A = this chain, B = another copy of it.
Amino acid sequence: MPSVAVVGASGYAGALAARLLWRHPGFELVAVTSRSDAGRRLDDLYPHHRVPLVLDVFDVDELGAVDAAVVAYPHGAAAEAVAELHERGIRVVDLSADFRLRDVATYAEWYRPHPAPALIEEAVYGLPELYRDRIRDAAIVANPGCFPTAAILALAPLARHLDDVVIDAKTGVSGAGRAATDKTHFVTVDENVTPYGVGRHRHMPEIDQELAALGARDVVAAFTAHLLPLDQGELVSCYVTLTEDVDAPALFEDRYAGEPFVELVARPPGVRDVRETNFCRIHVHPDERTGKVLVFAALDNLWKGTASQAVQNLNLMFGLDEDAGIA
């Protein structure tokens, strides 16, 4: 059974990845690390995850003969850890943004100079619905951002026909991470909804990159994220003008036939429908009044948006059933 470590397991996403791998029938979780909480047990930090492992300081040499690692570090720090792991032949799923953008200049524009540019070519964008085959053999999988996961799944079947795209995204607070700030204070979020990253959100180039890779021509999607008073859950509401008349629902049916974790539904989904699952629920509405196609995609930002998608990727990388441990 392949052994796996979670590097950076004290954040929300890393901790959930650890939980899923701890119970996984096909992997052995052998180590969890944390820069801030080393020495504490993970089930002390997250009792309901029930992972009775002690958090260690990350030291690639001490990880030993681990087969794979999930890296849950902030961007920049992630690339450095990925490089160390990669050098020792350990296959990596990186939850950060460091290997998602294939163009190093774009990365530099939105983040900072890339700490390990040579590895970008090694990385596969970890959206199984787009890159399943390449993920199987990848040394480094760049797990997508939560918004891009929802947005790309919502738009992929229409990509070749896109003229104008508006993506209005809503997310729970866990997406903002575990850091205690004014923005994550209960009293700030409760009974509130606030747009953020207006005009400039780091998930934008990721969405545009993948839409282009799917055949969209010169599409720059308008995108706004909104913070909602809930912990987990994400909804993207897409308003699409097409270049030509197509049977949109049929395109979705075709594209997602047989996909294990994409569900097309007849009613607009709520995020509760997919809470704590790896599913993305999509509703397509050809809108007669406006001629647009409306697409709504719901997922759990910590699950399909991050940690369970990482496990889906690991399953592919190690030849397991794609839904092992996350069905």
Given contacts A226-B237, A229-B229, A294-B224, contact A275 B191 (CB under 8 A): yes
Given contacts A185-B180, A186-B173, A296-B198, contact A192 B229 (CB under 8 A): no
Given contacts A192-B270, A220-B290, A285-B198, contact A48 B230 (CB under 8 A): no
Chain A 160-181, CB-CB to B under 8 Å as 1, else 0, gives 0000101010101110001011
Distance from A14 Cβ to chain B, minimum over Cβ atoms (Å):
14
> CB distance A199 to B47 under 8 Å?
no
A199 neighbours in B (Cβ, 8 Å): 285, 287-289, 294
Distance from A231 Cβ to chain B, minimum over Cβ atoms (Å):
5
Chain A 260-274, CB-CB to B under 8 Å as 1, else 0, gives 000000001111111
**A residues 275-294 with Cβ under 8 Å of B?**
275-277, 281, 283, 285, 287-290, 292, 294
Given contacts A187-B184, A220-B289, contact A296 B229 (CB under 8 A): no
> CB distance B281 to A47 under 8 Å?
yes
Given contacts A48-B275, A168-B168, A270-B193, contact A198 B231 (CB under 8 A): no
Of residues A204, A275, A289, A296, which shows the largest number of chain B Cβ atoms within 10 Å of its Cβ?
A: A289
A244 neighbours in B (Cβ, 8 Å): none
Q: Does A232 contact B (CB under 8 A)?
A: yes
Q: How far is it, in angstroms, between the C-alpha of A281 and the C-alpha of B200 when the chains are bound? A: 21
Q: Does A239 contact B (CB under 8 A)?
A: yes
List the B residue with the shortest CB-CB distance to A230.
Answer: B191
Q: How far is it, in angstroms, between the C-alpha of A292 and the C-alpha of B220 when the chains are bound? A: 11
Q: Does A189 contact B (CB under 8 A)?
A: yes
Chain A 193-213, CB-CB to B under 8 Å as 1, else 0, gives 111101110001000000000
Q: Does A8 contact B (CB under 8 A)?
A: no
Of residues A239, A272, A294, which shows the largest number of chain B Cβ atoms within 10 Å of its Cβ?
A: A272
> CB distance B237 to A186 under 8 Å?
no
List the B residue with the shortest CB-CB distance to A49.
Answer: B277
Distance from A48 Cβ to chain B, minimum over Cβ atoms (Å):
5
> CB distance A191 to B231 under 8 Å?
yes
Q: How far is it, in angstroms, between the C-alpha of A237 and the C-alpha of B168 when the chains are bound? A: 8
Q: Does A222 contact B (CB under 8 A)?
A: yes
> CB distance B237 to A192 under 8 Å?
no
Which of B232, B288, B296 contacts A191, CB < 8 Å?
A: B232
Q: How far is it, in angstroms, between the C-alpha of A273 and the C-alpha of B46 when the chains are bound? A: 7
A220 neighbours in B (Cβ, 8 Å): 289-290
> CB distance A226 to B170 under 8 Å?
yes
Q: Does A152 contact B (CB under 8 A)?
A: no
Q: How far is it, in angstroms, between the C-alpha of A12 and the C-alpha of B273 when the chains are bound? A: 14
Q: How far is it, in angstroms, between the C-alpha of A73 and the C-alpha of B192 when the chains are bound? A: 27
List the B residue with the shortest CB-CB distance to A204.
Answer: B289
Of residues A166, A232, A269, which shows the largest number of chain B Cβ atoms within 10 Å of its Cβ?
A: A166
Given contacts A274-B47, A290-B222, A296-B198, contact A189 B192 (CB under 8 A): no
- 9 A-B contacts (beta carbon < 8 Å): A47-B272, A164-B164, A166-B292, A180-B182, A184-B186, A193-B233, A199-B289, A226-B237, A229-B230
